[in-house]
Amino acid sequence: MRLSSIGKNMQPSISTIMIPAPPDGSTGMPADVLIVEDDPIIAIDFEDRLLGFGVRSVRTVGSVAQALAAIAARAPDFALLDVELGREKSFAVADRLAAAQIPFVFVTGYGAEDRIAPEFKTRPRLQKPCSSEALEAALRSGGS
């Protein structure tokens, strides 16, 4: 059963989906992933793939304010950050994650380097649409 938080207003809010861990507890994946994505179709696609990889909890938000609130409520083990969230960019979220030493990758539909703030140019990035293999590799590598 999906507990998706994305409604008709296209503004995702925090949702949590839990699935049991394998008996040995080792999936090689982060247990809790925060998706910061304003496109509901893309967010659902990421959510489905992450759960398929063995991630136990996936939370989805669609704005900087929602992301900062989700991090304050419970720090994730990993985050996927869309660079452009409507009229705002996710760099404040990246700052918070970096300060807390939480691994993350940027996910962007734009290939241009000028979309990424200079302080984050060396951070890992996935190009939308990304393959499941690339997404899984990013999670397993801890965003490095």
- Measured between alpha carbons, how far is residue 124 from residues 77, 106, 135 in Å? 16, 6, 11
Q: Where are the alpha helices (DSSP H) in the chain?
A: 40-53, 64-73, 91-99, 132-140
pLDDT digits (tens, 9 = 90+) for 99-122: 999 999 999 887 655 578 888 888
Angle at 106 (CA atoms; ends 114, 113), nearest 5 degrees: 15
What pLDDT, in 10s, does the model give residues 43-86?
999 999 999 999 999 999 999 999 999 999 999 999 999 999 98
Q: Which domains can be identified in the chain, with CATH numbers?
A: 17-140 (3.40.50.2300)
Question: Could you tell me the pTM of the whole model?
Answer: 0.80
- The closest alpha carbon to 2, from 53, 38, 43, belongs to 43
